[in-house]
Amino acid sequence: MNVRGRYPLWAAVLAVALLAAMLPRPALSAGPLYSSPLKRFGAGLKPDHGEITDYDVGALRLGWYSDWKTRRDPLRPGGIDYAQLVYVENGAIGASLDSLAEYAAANPGSLWMVGNEPESDVQGRNTPQQYAQAYRTVYTAIKSGDPTAQVAVGGVVQPTPLRLQWLDQVLASYQQLYGAPMPVDVWNIHAYILQEVQGSWGAGIPVGISATQGMVYDLQQNDSLAVFRQHIVNFRTWMKQRGQQNKPLVISEYGVLMPPEHGFTPERVNAFMWDSFDYLLSAKDSALGYAADEYRLVQRWMWYSINDAPYDVETGAGYNGQLFDCRYSTYPGVMTLMGLNFKTYTDALAAGLPPPTRTPTPTVTRTPTAAATETPLLAATETPAPTGVPPGSLTYRILQNGFQGYEGTTDTYIYQYAPTANYDGSDQLRVGSKQIFATLLRFDLAQIPADSSVVAAWIDLFASGWGGSAATISAYRVLRGVTHSDATWNLAASASPWGLPGANSVGTDRGGQPESSFDATTVLRWYTFDVTSLAQQWVEGSLANNGVLLRGAVPTSAAVFYFASANHGNAALRPRLVIAYIPGSGSAPEPTPPAMPTATPPPTATPTVTTRPTASPTATSTNTPASTLTPLPAATPTMTVPPATATPTATSTATAVPSPTNTATPAPTASPTVAPTATATPGTPGQPVTVILQQGANGYAGASDTYIYQYLPTSNYSSADLLQVTGKRTHASLLKFDLSTIPPGALVESASLELYAAGWGGNDITLSVYRIQREMEPSEATWNLARAGNPWASPGCNGVPEDRSEPPEATFTTSSIYRWYSINLTALAQEWVGGATTNNGVLLRAPLSSVSGTFYFASAQHSSANLRPRLVLTYR
């Protein structure tokens, strides 16, 4: 259809809309705008990493989402609302006007956002006048297709004075150009906290504003609830001063963008998430709020993001705060700790419970910046965090090994055809195969007061593998004391047999009826089963907490499933018990959890040094002349953060906390094998002797290791449970084995270093092993130092020959994970034993820096002792 031929209709529609906007408004209802608070919760989807149906967003109970696109037939799983977004860049509109009218007609009453960070010099790049002109064109086209459409301005990065100034100029330009106020159905902002300094990291300066500096927030304020709240109050005040109080306000993006290298651990992100949810649900003000929604300040909000990639050292792309790990391509993705946190909150609301309260997180000391002082338009007060959980207050606990210092989960599986074998060190639990595999699982509940009333409790298990067929799995209470490190098909504990092998004596070993059951239908996803009644009995002491038994519900079903265990190398995938309870009147305040380490870099996030970041994580599009009305190219996300040295967060004992990694599903095997333990095989004099040197095996305690990281050059990671190596050589690992038990002068016949690959970034890489030529102490080594007071000749153990040898002792290429790699070090071990070379250990790193990829190997501190590095040495 001819576009020009429709302009008279659009003009008429616009005239009606403008008239309606200027007429007095009818009386507004006093009730809430939404029947359920869950309708207010949303999150942004990065379409680069899949559609909304590729993720189990139903588990999050989202009310709305956006993927920064316009769609005629958007996907709406479970009836979720979809917010349309029309790109406006440098005055150009990123969709045809005909399509806007058509899509609006097909989706009556939808929210339409005009532009994305339209003022940003790295996103919209619009002057106020350009945006005013484009807004009128888009508004008219949308309303011609659907007069009931809710049209919103594009969200500015953050509602700071500079950006409010830009919006004022937009309104003034519109009034000057068209002789009428700009019609806005819904106001929309992004609510990030980023500095505004020209040419530096952060939000930059709005296009068309003459300034070189605005708000100079400290990087550590990226999760400041006080600033977040003040931004909202300030914007609502701005709306009121311009006659816009009785309009809805939505936040279409907010969250914590900065990566863990700057101290923004999952625990810290989760604390901000819940605090912000509490505020957004409760913030009301009759002088500022929207009367049609009980004077609430904000009507809806979208967390960033559902599925953006974690920040990556190789590419500089990605962000923090993702609810699912997009690197798992199999539906429905892997829920992160942030996703679980989101789910826990919305689950409580869905159950009609008060929002969960969190144990206060240690505050982060921030150095105030003078320029960051913002004069509030209206004072906002900050409610101090509670020091404990008062009696009668609903609170939640997430019990998962490695999360907030908790280490109370024990588990194992038992196997009918290996009735004396124990598998408590395995990283997987097995269930099924005609009930020949069963799993035993227990959570220590000591931190839950005994007089508490359990409101809800459920166990989440991550399915990491299967035999290809669906299975029904049942959970039973265990009635006999179990020692998971000793339990087998025959024994519940050492010298304590089951009533019937396999925990099959009903009434003696386990309950007769399952507590709950669930259907496992695929892998690489979480499964949940309810244990509320059982948890109440455990807490009050009416039933001994012996944990649960998981077994296949159908004896004839050959289906088998593998679940990540409490020893899994990826801490985020371990079993977890989520429990909601109300402490009794006699309960003491619950303790604050151990302070989080100030640097907990996960395997995937590493900052790169750049001079200018993208204002926020959403998409950008290719610049198009203002006269062009054809669709703009698909958006490509970009982002940088300040170099890690700008705000040091690491300590001398930083602990690496891995986030979900793209790990392969191990192929199921017909029968399990028990991992070897460190043993010495003695021989007669002159005969070969084989020793397996592995930390914790047969009393051996001589293994030490760490990894070193280029962008945190003073950090030591000797307590990390994973060693990290990258293809671009930003990470390298150092390993050392004490050989004092080997007789001096022994003839070494063979020596192999064996490493277990526990995770990766999805690509195989080539790695080399080098002898270290300088005295090195893993507990003190960093990128800069071989040990305290002894720097490397070249940082990163890169001085040849002062730091390391060249060429390498051995080179190998990886081929997937969940497997061992063996590296021949016979010649080097002979020199160490014979005294020809001092044993300073070895360096593991990529030989070239041109290949992307990351690998994680179990370290000498790994929680699963049988996966730790081992040196297998045969000598005479």
pLDDT band at 318 (very low <50, low <70, confident <90, very high): confident
For residue 169, what is the DSSP state?
Answer: H
Pick the range with the lowest mean pLDDT from 230-244, 365-379, 738-752. Answer: 365-379
- At 84-93, the pLDDT tens digits run 999 999 999 9
Q: Are strands 395-399 and 576-582 parallel, antiparallel or unpaired?
A: antiparallel
| Per-residue confidence (pLDDT) for residue 375, from 0 to 100 | 29
CB atoms within 10 A of CB 540: 15
Residue 157 predicted with pLDDT over 80: yes
What's the pLDDT at 657?
26
pLDDT at 31: 62
- Percentage of the chain exceeding pLDDT 90: 60
pLDDT, residue 15, reads 45
pLDDT for 20 beyond 50? no
Residue 420 has pLDDT above 80, yes or no: yes
At 213-235, the pLDDT tens digits run: 999 998 899 999 999 999 999 99
What single-letter DSSP state applies at residue 772? Answer: B
Q: What's the mean pLDDT in 439-462?
A: 92
Predicted local distance difference test score (pLDDT) of residue 573? 86
Provide the pLDDT for residue 779: 95
The per-residue pLDDT for 730 is 86
Residue 5: the pLDDT is 33
d(CA 837, CA 829): 9
pLDDT of residue 606: 28
Average pLDDT of span 347-374: 53
- Give the best-scoring range by mean pLDDT among 236-240, 624-628, 744-748: 236-240
Is the torsion defined by CA of 134, 135, 138, 141 positive or negative? negative
The size of the chain, in residues, is 876
> Rounded mean pLDDT of 6-18?
40
pLDDT-derived band at 337 (thresholds 50, 70, 90) equals confident
Asked whether the predicted pLDDT for residue 376 surpasses 50, the reply is: no
The winner for highest mean pLDDT among 26-40, 437-451, 597-611 is: 437-451
Least confident of 326-340, 586-600, 808-822: 586-600
The kind and range of the H/E element at 84 are: strand 84-86
pLDDT value at 612 more than 50: no
Residue type for position 238: W
* pLDDT for the residue numbered 745: 82
Q: Report the mean per-residue pLDDT for the chain.
A: 81
- pLDDT band, residue 613 (cuts 50/70/90): very low
Strands 790-791 and 810-813: unpaired
Residue 696: what pLDDT?
93
Q: Minimum mean pLDDT among 139-148, 399-408, 637-646: which range?
A: 637-646
Q: Above pLDDT 70, what percent of the chain?
A: 79
Report the CATH number of the 4-17+35-384+617-644 domain.
Answer: 3.20.20
Q: How far apart are CA 139 and CA 112, in angstroms?
A: 9
pLDDT of residue 23: 37
Q: What is the DSSP letter of 292?
A: G
Dist. CA 44–CA 142, nearest whole Å: 22
Looking at residue 61, its pLDDT comes to 94
pLDDT of residue 316: 63
Torsion of CA 189, 78, 356, 592, to 10 degrees: -80
Residue 302 has pLDDT above 90, yes or no: yes
Most confident of 393-397, 627-631, 647-651: 393-397
Is the pTM higher than 0.75?
A: no
For residue 383, what pLDDT is reported? 28
Question: Residue 272 has what pLDDT?
Answer: 96
Closest residue by Cα to residue 108 from 56, 149, 78, 67: 149
Domains of the chain, residue spans: 4-17+35-384+617-644, 395-582, 675-875
Which whole number is the average pLDDT over 513-535? 89
Cα–Cα dist 576/566, whole Å: 9
pLDDT at position 686, please?
A: 61
The pLDDT value given to residue 644: 39
Stretch 702-714: mean pLDDT = 91
Q: Where are the strands (E) in 92-228, listed by range? A: 92-93, 111-114, 150-153, 187-190
Residue 444, token pair as written in the block: 């220590």
pLDDT of the residue at 732: 95
In three-state secondary structure terms, 502 is: coil
The confidence score (pLDDT) of residue 28 equals 42
Q: Give ∠ CA 469-474-479 in degrees, rounded to 5.
A: 145
Give the confidence band of 352 by pLDDT, cuts at 50, 70, 90: confident
Least confident of 48-62, 223-237, 363-377: 363-377
- Confidence band (pLDDT; 50, 70, 90) for 408? very high
Please give the pLDDT value at position 763.
Answer: 79
Find out whether 631 and 95 touch, Cβ atoms under 8 Å.
Answer: yes
How confident is the model at residue 315, as a pLDDT? 63
Give 864-876 pLDDT, tens digit per residue: 888 999 999 999 8
Which pLDDT belongs to residue 223? 96
pLDDT at 670 over 50: no
Residue scoring higher pLDDT (781 or 659): 781
Greater model confidence, 96 or 619: 96
Highest mean pLDDT among 362-366, 527-531, 570-574, 691-695: 691-695
Distance CA 210, CA 656 (A): 44
Statement: residue 125 has pLDDT above 60 = yes
Q: SS3 for 857? A: strand
On the question of pLDDT at 553 being above 60, the answer is yes
